[in-house]
């Protein structure tokens, strides 16, 4: 399966919706696309909506961690939302929830960023 990446702004928040599989075949595409968006310097926070992400491996974790580092260096925050149980378990085992906020859905993540829709 492939990966679908939907990236759009909500004020100063970059929202990223991933659908499909984030693995060693697709991670470089996501990394490059998000780096170029964040390099614009117009986003304060980053929200990953993973409701339609069906698989992720360590390469995918690397992409997520790299974007956390990138947005942190810009002084912003990164949040995850709508994480499926299998992906949730991977984040749990990797210890990523120690540094990343998890929200039930995209709306609550955006509210935590100060964006009301």
Region 3-112: CATH code: 3.30.750.24
On the 0-12 / 13-18 / 19+ scale of CB atoms within 10 A, 78 is: buried
Return the beta strands (E) in 31-103 as ranges: 45-56, 78-81, 101-103
- Taking only the tens of pLDDT, the chain with its 117 residues reads 699 999 999 999 999 999 999 999 999 999 999 999 999 999 999 999 999 999 999 999 999 999 999 999 989 999 999 999 999 999 999 999 999 999 999 999 999 998 865
pTM, to two decimals: 0.94
């Amino acid at each position: 399966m492939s990966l679908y990446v939907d990236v759009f702004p909500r004020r100063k928040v970059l929202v990223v919706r991933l659908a499909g599989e984030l693995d060693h075949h697709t991670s470089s595409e996501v990394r490059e696309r998000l780096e170029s968006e964040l390099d614009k310097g117009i986003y304060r926070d980053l929200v990953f909506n993973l409701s339609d992400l069906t698989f992720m491996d360590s390469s995918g974790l690397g992409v997520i961690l790299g974007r956390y580092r990138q947005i942190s260096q810009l002084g912003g925050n990164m949040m995850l939302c709508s994480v499926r149980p299998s992906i949730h378990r991977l984040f749990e085992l990797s210890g990523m929830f120690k540094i990343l906020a998890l929200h039930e859905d995209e709306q609550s993540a955006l509210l935590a960023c100060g964006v009301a829709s």
